[in-house]
Amino acid sequence: MKNIEKQLAELKSRIEVLDKKTTEPKVSMIVFSGDLDKVLASFVIATGSVAMGMEVVMFFTFWGTPVLRDKNKSVGGKDTMGKMFGTMLPKGAGAVKLSQMNMGGMGTAMMKSLMKKKNVASLEQMLEMAEELGVKIYVCEMSMDLMGFKREEMIEYNGLEFCGVAKFLEEANNSRIQLFI
């Protein structure tokens, strides 16, 4: 009898360890790209994941960072490089271009009108929907700093936070699905 109790206690502690190792129904995504098509795909997966009952965390880094700029906000006090990045990179979700067939903006404009015709949600609508669904967004602090973006010029998004690689790894470690886009 004592033996059984001992075995039971051992089993319990082993289950506890396993519990901690079990991943959550969560999707962690790195949005590295700033291309319209790839960011759109990221949001399709994000909103779809919530529908499937999963939690979603998106990490915007490098070229993905300017997608989250607010087109109506401008901030001063940037150095020359910061100003240059600010001018050359898209200002917000409405300004990003296709990765292929952009053709000086013509291709992107055509794709957008086609999307409208076919009822496909625009990137701006996708962002709104993601916020409503509780998709969590983190922005890479290092990219912000590198490109000279300031927190004040980013969009208003419920729960938007700035972070580093450790936060992503913590979330990814607990997620069943990890994607790099």
Partner 1 sequence: MQEEVTVEKVIDLKGLPCPMPVVKVSKGIKEVEVGQVIEAHSTDQGSLTDFPAWARTSGNEILKTEEDGDVIKFFIKRNV
Which window, 43-51, 57-65, 90-98, 154-162, contacts partner 1 (CB under 8 A)?
43-51
Beta bridge partners of 60: 31, 139
Question: What is the nearest approach in angstroms of partner 1 to the Cβ of residue 152?
Answer: 31
Closer residue to partner 1 in complex, CB, 54/95: 54
Rounded Cα gap, residues 16 and 9, in angstroms: 11
Question: Which of 7, 24, 48, 113 forms a contact with partner 1 (CB under 8 A)?
Answer: 48
Site for partner 1 in 97-136 (CB under 8 A): 118-121, 129, 133
Q: Does the footprint of partner 1 cover residue 22 (CB under 8 A)?
A: no
Interface with partner 1 (CB under 8 A), residue total 15
DSSP secondary structure code for residue 27 in this structure: E
Interaction between residue 52 and partner 1 (CB under 8 A): yes
- For residue 174, which phi and psi values (nearest 5 degrees)? -100, 5
Q: How far apart are CA 102 and CA 39, in angstroms?
A: 15
Name the burial class of residue 47, with classes exposed (0-12), middle (13-18) and buried (19+) by CB atoms within 10 angstroms of its CB. Answer: middle
Written as one letter, the residue type at 36 is L
Report CA torsion sign: 53, 27, 151, 85: negative
Out of 53, 76, 77, 104, the only residue in the binding site for partner 1 (CB under 8 A) is: 53
CB of 69 to partner 1, least distance (A): 24
Q: Closest approach of Cβ 159 to partner 1, in Å?
A: 19
**Distance (Å, rounded) from C-alpha 34 to C-alpha 29?**
14
Structure tokens at 141: 């602090």
Q: Which is nearer to partner 1, 129 or 142 (CB)?
A: 129
Measured from the CB of residue 120, what is the shortest distance to partner 1 in angstroms? 5
CA distance 5 to 9: 6
Least distance between partner 1 and beta carbon 131 (Å): 13
Residues in contact with partner 1 by CB under 8 A are 44-45, 47-48, 50-54, 118-121, 129, 133
